Amino acid sequence: MSAVAHTTIAASAQSFEVRPFDAPVGAEIIGLDLTQPLGDEDFARVHRAHLDHALLVFRDQRITPEQQIAFSRRFGPLQIHVLKQFLLEGHPEIFIISNIVENGQPIGLGDAGKFWHSDLSYKELPSLGSMLLAQELPEEGGDTLFASQQLAYETLPAELRQVIEGKRAAHSYTARYADEVFAGVRRPTLTEAQLAEVKSVVHPVVRTHPETGRKGLFVNENFTTHILDIPEDESRQILAELYAHSAKPEFIYRHQWQPHDMVFWDNRALIHLATGCPSHLRRRMHRTTIQGDVPF
């Protein structure tokens, strides 16, 4: 089953290289120009690379918001983030992640990703993948870590794997929303309308990738609140063991951002974490988020 939107586009073939990283996941795409329409064959090659590597880094992409949105839409419908005040004006499909404050107001979400998570796991249709485009980078810090949840599942101790077999867990956007994760950064209070958009949902603890069939863990410390149908203390202990295992160094790729990088990762296969940067150094990123399927 494929979640990819089938849009036929005739365009000249581009010469580009898919260069895998020396890491558990990830590859960089060298020589592809996303300011140009991507023909069907080139798109199929990018799609295949994304499934094979779970994360792609498109180097030196000086693209407009329209071009980022158009490329993202090739993979499926886009999701609009609940924090409407941080959507790019005129382009609500783009969510601004930034520590920049202008006229006393933050222009984007300043503490995004400080706990390990899979984007929008708190939605009935969690994200297929996210594309994050570097607009302004700090001189130090700002790295993003990505951990393969498929490798994590495949290396689980047999006893723990048996315990979570067939189990389901609840996910909530507000699970850790009020936690202060970067010093001095407080999130905006959610309105009743926003809270109505992010009601708790239930997903399998282990999900099957809809395009590759590979199994992976699908719980995370940011949004998962508890495992259903077991005592609370037991749920807490199992989740703690899963979280500790899921972020082992041998599953992780660390992305050190370069100017105009665009990273496209698979939220069905990975969790990620922002490492943060000194608060006085400006950082601005533009994210599009592609809708996925109901996890199974």
pLDDT band at 58 (very low <50, low <70, confident <90, very high): very high
Q: Is the pLDDT of residue 52 over 70?
A: yes
Dump pLDDT digits (tens) for 83-126: 889 999 999 999 999 999 999 889 999 877 789 999 999 999 99
The pLDDT value given to residue 26: 98
Q: What average pLDDT does the chain have? A: 92
**How far from chain centre, in Å, is Cα 55?**
10
What CATH code is carried by the domain that includes residue 89?
3.60.130.10
pLDDT band at 7 (very low <50, low <70, confident <90, very high): low
Total structural domains in the chain? 1
pLDDT band at 4 (very low <50, low <70, confident <90, very high): low
DSSP H or E stretch at residue 93: strand 91-98
Residue 7 lies in a domain: no
Helix (H, G, I), strand (E, B) or coil at 151: helix
Catalytic-residue membership of 282: no
**42, 119, 261, 266: the active-site residue:** 119
The pLDDT value given to residue 1: 47
Domain extent, residue 285, equals 17-291
Q: Is the pLDDT of residue 34 over 60?
A: yes
pLDDT band at 64 (very low <50, low <70, confident <90, very high): very high
Q: How many residues does the chain have?
A: 296
Residue 241 lies in a domain: yes
Residues 6+ apart with CB under 8 A from 233: none
Strands of 101-199, DSSP E: 101-102, 105-106, 127-136, 144-148, 168-171
Rounded Cα distance between 293 and 296, Å, is 9
Q: For strand 91-98 and strand 144-148, is the pairing parallel, antiparallel, or unpaired?
A: unpaired
| Full-model pTM | 0.91
Residue 9 lies in a domain: no
Over the range 65-100, which residues count as b (16 or more CB within 10 Å of their CB) and which as e? bebbbbbbebbbebbebbbeebbbeebebbbbbbbe
Residue 5 lies in a domain: no
Residue 2 lies in a domain: no
The pLDDT value given to residue 205: 98
Dump pLDDT digits (tens) for 168-214: 999 988 776 666 554 555 666 777 777 777 778 999 999 999 999 99
The pLDDT value given to residue 279: 85
115 in Cβ contact with 181 (< 8 Å): yes
Share of the chain above pLDDT 70, in %: 92
The pLDDT value given to residue 174: 78
Dump pLDDT digits (tens) for 225-240: 999 999 999 999 999 9
Dump pLDDT digits (tens) for 135-164: 999 999 999 999 999 999 999 999 999 999
Rounded Cα distance between 277 and 143, Å, is 8
Catalytic-residue membership of 40: no
C-beta atoms surrounding 241 within 10 Å: 15
Residue 89 lies in a domain: yes
**45, 81, 117, 286: the active-site residue:** 117
Catalytic-residue membership of 272: yes
Catalytic-residue membership of 287: yes
271 in Cβ contact with 118 (< 8 Å): yes
> 272 phi and psi, to 5 degrees?
-145, 165
The pLDDT value given to residue 176: 65
**81, 207, 272, 283: the active-site residue:** 272
Rounded Cα distance between 63 and 263, Å, is 13
